């Protein structure tokens, strides 16, 4: 039976800031509710909005967080551990850049940084349980991505070992999530080792199909790779547990294509856009998700190289609202039907 998608909801990461109304959970949830959002996805890595360490230890704090959101008129959809998940697996080429995602105490120490990240991701499972949530969203991290293009030739076994190591790092985390009754939905994203359907299958196989290993569906990354993002839903719908509603456009020309020539976002052939300004077929996406019974949240992840975040957020809530399908329990031609009469059926078939 098709499900009813919930929403609209808003991922708060791109809006959090030091100035009101973006500087506290109380203020930002009231702002989001005022725009028409019914849910918020909370970045567990932004201390201005949420204290993950406290949430993992204190039911009282989690109750306070739920109360703040309820008073504003929104529900919590998921906790995000994107930045911590990224640090579970970091190729040395990215060490300096990704140190910025971690506390200063572990900078320059990849093993300590990874241990901190694993602890954070595990705490998100406990915090989610305390908040009454059954899903988180994250990144897998990357060991093999610097070797994406096969030149120079990759040594035989390099990719297999990268995914085997990913599994060694993630399976114990998945087991912890199993104990807490929580899923991890990975955003399949270039820069991560899991960036398309083929790499997702490699990861899932390496993790022996672990039940808690799931997908945060985001079509923008698939459009920029020229993938069939509607068929992706048909193939992997049983693993999709979360949905980022994010738009993008791809305009190749004689100068650049998928790799976009090191250009800044405004000058790239592939660009993220506010909802409705790009090329993603959201009518098709919401229809496919509803057909396959997806009944969790539709969460706006706003990123755009042109439009302001305030305008994008204001336009995003009605856009999502208009695309949510109220799934029917009737057939459109029921009016022409009648009661089942087996004698009449046999006569119609000539088998009476």
Would you say residue 174 lies in a domain? yes
| 158-181: pLDDT as tens digits | 999 999 999 999 999 999 999 999
262 phi, psi to nearest 5 deg: 60, 20
| 36-92: pLDDT as tens digits | 999 999 999 999 999 999 999 999 999 999 999 999 999 999 999 999 999 999 999
Q: Which one, of 145, 146, 157, lies nearest residue 188 by Cα?
A: 145
Q: Average per-residue pLDDT in the chain?
A: 96
Largest CA distance in the chain: 83
pLDDT at site 335: 52
Q: How many CB atoms lie within 10 A of CB 335?
A: 7
| Residue 336 pLDDT level (bands cut at 50, 70, 90) | low
Would you say residue 1 lies in a domain? no
Tell whether the model's pLDDT for residue 331 goes beyond 90: no
pLDDT at site 1: 45
Helix or strand run (H / E) with residue 39 = strand 39-43
Between the alpha carbon of residue 345 and those of residues 242, 333, 341, 349, the distances in Å are 44, 18, 6, 6
Would you say residue 230 lies in a domain? yes
| Residue 337 pLDDT level (bands cut at 50, 70, 90) | low
Supply the range of the domain harboring residue 175: 6-349
How far, in Å, CA of 323 to CA of 285, rounded? 9
CATH number at residue 57: 3.20.20.150
How far, in Å, CA of 182 to CA of 212, rounded? 7
Structurally, how many domains does the chain consist of?
1
CA distance from start to end of the chain = 34
Q: Which residues pair with 42 in a beta bridge?
A: 79
pLDDT at site 234: 98
Instruction: Name the pairing type of β-strands 247-250 and 270-273.
Output: antiparallel
Residues sharing a CB contact under 8 Å with residue 197, sequence separation 6 or more, in sequence order? 188, 227, 232, 235, 236
**343 versus 210: which is more confidently predicted?**
210
pLDDT, average across residues 297-321: 98
| 173-232: pLDDT as tens digits | 999 999 999 999 999 999 999 999 999 999 999 999 999 999 999 999 999 999 999 999
DSSP-derived letter for residue 303 is -
Q: Which one, of 244, 238, 283, 294, lies nearest residue 3 by Cα?
A: 294
Burial string for 222-245 (b: 16+ CB within 10 Å, else e) reads bbbeeeebeebbeebbebbbbbbb
pLDDT, average across residues 122-140: 98
Tell whether the model's pLDDT for residue 139 goes beyond 60: yes
pLDDT at site 44: 98
| Residue 334 pLDDT level (bands cut at 50, 70, 90) | low
């Amino acid at each position: 039976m098709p499900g009813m998608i919930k929403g609209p909801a808003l991922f708060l990461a791109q809006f959090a800031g030091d100035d009101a109304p973006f500087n506290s959970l109380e203020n930002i949830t009231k702002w989001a509710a005022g725009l028409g959002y019914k849910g918020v996805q909370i970045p567990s890595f932004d201390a201005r909005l949420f204290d993950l360490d406290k949430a993992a230890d204190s039911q009282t704090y989690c109750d306070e967080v739920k109360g703040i959101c309820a008073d504003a008129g929104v529900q919590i959809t998921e906790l995000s551990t994107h930045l911590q998940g990224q640090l579970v697996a970091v190729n040395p080429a990215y060490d300096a850049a990704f140190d910025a995602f971690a506390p200063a105490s572990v900078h320059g120490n990849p093993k300590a940084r990874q241990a901190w990240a694993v602890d954070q991701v595990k705490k998100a499972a406990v915090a989610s349980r305390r908040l009454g949530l059954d899903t988180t969203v994250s990144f897998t991290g990357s060991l093999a991505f610097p070797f994406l293009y096969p030149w120079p030739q990759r040594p035989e076994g390099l990719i297999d070992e990268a995914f085997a190591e990913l599994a060694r790092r993630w399976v114990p985390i998945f087991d912890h999530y199993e104990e807490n009754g929580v899923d991890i939905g990975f955003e399949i994203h270039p820069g991560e080792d899991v960036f398309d359907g083929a790499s997702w299958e490699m990861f899932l196989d390496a993790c022996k199909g672990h039940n808690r290993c799931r997908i945060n569906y985001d079509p923008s990354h698939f459009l920029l790779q020229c993938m069939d993002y509607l068929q992706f839903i048909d193939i992997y719908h049983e693993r999709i547990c979360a949905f980022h509603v994010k738009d993008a456009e791809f305009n190749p020309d004689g100068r650049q294509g998928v790799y976009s020539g090191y250009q800044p976002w405004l000058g790239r052939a592939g660009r993220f856009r506010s909802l409705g300004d790009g090329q993603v077929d959201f009518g098709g996406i919401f229809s496919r998700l509803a057909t396959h019974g997806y009944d969790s949240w539709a969460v706006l992840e706003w990123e755009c190289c042109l439009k302001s975040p305030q305008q994008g957020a204001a336009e995003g809530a009605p856009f999502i609202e208009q695309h949510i399908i109220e799934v029917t329990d009737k057939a459109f031609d029921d009016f022409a039907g009648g009661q089942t009469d087996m004698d009449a059926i046999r006569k119609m078939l000539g088998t009476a």
